[in-house]
Amino acid sequence: MSTLLEVRGLNTVYRTTEGQIRAVDGVDLSVGRGEILGVVGESGSGKTTLVTSLMRLIKPPGRILKGGEMLLDGEDLFRLPRSEMPARRGRDLALIPQSAMHALNPVIPVDKQVAEAITAHGKAGRKAALRTARERLVEVGIPPERHSAYPHELSGGMRQRCVIAMAIVNEPKLVIADEPVSGLDVVVQARILRLISDLKESRSLSMILVSHDLPTVTRICDRIAVMYAGRIIETGEARAVFEKPLHPYTKVLVEAIPQVRGPKQDLRSIPGDPPNLHRLPPGCNFEPRCPAAFADCKTVDPSLEEVESGRQVACLLYHDDERE
């Protein structure tokens, strides 16, 4: 699998009244062609800032620090003039935003909205665009009789399908989905994830899928990167990360989610609160909440290192050389 996206040294900061915070802190990641990379983290982990940065939609008081690279098909999108980006969004990389209801225009029928995404790039006339839009709506499972419906006339799942249709209609190289199923009922969640999985097969879609729910995205992701306090703290093949999480925080993410089958285990929870980016500890960011922390964790800030083939983790438990 060849590499489609290569991000190196991405730093995004926000200026606040209490000083500057680094919401994305030196993130490297890559996505192969036809691959789904899951980015998993909780509130405040920086995953939405990451998505917004990749779309280059960060607005003041936030900004992307110079020096980072975002190579899509070998071209560094961070070096493009800002004025070039609207033409690239939707065509090179498309976003499936968190809330489908808010992403859709309430006063325009959904087929027209999807068509607008085509005509906005001047790729086709209105009639042809509408025809293509309806084909994509059928592809994502919206029956023809619903094509001219307004967003409020559709269920949450159908709205999500429309937003997915809009994202794929210009055949972007990369799709970025920000929590595409959170807030939906379980039955609908399963169907939307199946749709994404089907589209990945039929269109060899390349995707970054952002979620707070590691077990749920394990099945459709090829690889997973776990974020905490703006950094990637573990990454590896999806199933391996789920079955054998290494970082203590990843373990919590796996064990905190109840399962309906298998032995009934006590759910894991961790003490403390999500990290405060204004007051990060001197050592490992997770140390104050970590059940496995030892003395060095208070002083040594672990870097992301490869511990086995294809698996990287930022934790002193696995870094022999950093351990005293």
Partner 1 sequence: MMNGSRSSTGSPGSGGSLLEVRDLSVRFGARGRSGEVAAVRGVSFGIAPGEILGLIGESGSGKTTVARAVMGLVRSATGSVRFEGREMLGLSERALRKVRRRLHLVFQDPYDSLHPGMRVHEIVEEAMKIHGVGDRAGREAAVSAALKEVGLTPISHFTERYPHQLSGGQRQRVAVARAMVLDPALVLADEPTSMLDPSLRSGILQILKRHRDTHGTGYLFITHDLALARHLCDRVAVMFGGRLVELGPTEAVVANPLHPYTKMLLQAVEELAPPSPSGADYLTSDQAQESYATIASGLQEVAPGHYVASHEMNQPILDRPTTEKEE
Strands (E), the chain: 3-16, 19-32, 36-40, 62-64, 69-72, 75-76, 93-96, 174-178, 207-211, 223-228, 231-237, 305-308, 311-313
Task: DSSP letter for 265, please.
Answer: -
Assess 156 for contact with partner 1 (CB under 8 A): yes
Q: How far is CA 314 from the centre of its chain?
A: 20
The two three-digit tokens of residue 141, written as one number = 């499972």
Helical axes 156-168 vs 110-119, angle rounded to 10°: 20
Assess 187 for contact with partner 1 (CB under 8 A): yes
Q: Beta strand 207-211 with 36-40: parallel, antiparallel or unpaired?
A: parallel
Residues 255-294 interacting with partner 1 (rule: CB under 8 A): 256-262, 264, 267-271, 273-274
Length of the chain: 324
Alpha-helical runs (H) found in the chain: 47-54, 85-88, 100-103, 110-119, 126-139, 156-168, 186-203, 214-218, 238-243, 248-255
Residues 161-180 interacting with partner 1 (rule: CB under 8 A): 161
Close Cβ partners of 116 (under 8 Å, ≥ 6 residues apart): 108, 129
Among 124, 190, 240, 317, binds partner 1 (CB under 8 A): 190
Assess 135 for contact with partner 1 (CB under 8 A): no
Assess 73 for contact with partner 1 (CB under 8 A): no
Among 59, 143, 202, 309, binds partner 1 (CB under 8 A): 143
Assess 42 for contact with partner 1 (CB under 8 A): yes
Cβ distance to partner 1 smaller for residue 55 or 225: 225
Q: Per CB under 8 A, which region of 85-93, 214-222, 229-237, 291-299 contacts partner 1?
A: 214-222
Assess 141 for contact with partner 1 (CB under 8 A): yes
SS3 state of residue 20? strand
Cβ distance to partner 1 smaller for residue 2 or 43: 43
Assess 250 for contact with partner 1 (CB under 8 A): no
Among 120, 188, 240, 300, binds partner 1 (CB under 8 A): 188
Assess 193 for contact with partner 1 (CB under 8 A): yes
Q: Which residues bind partner 1 (CB under 8 A)?
A: 42-43, 141-143, 153-158, 161, 185-191, 193-194, 212-216, 218-219, 239, 242-243, 249, 252-253, 256-262, 264, 267-271, 273-274
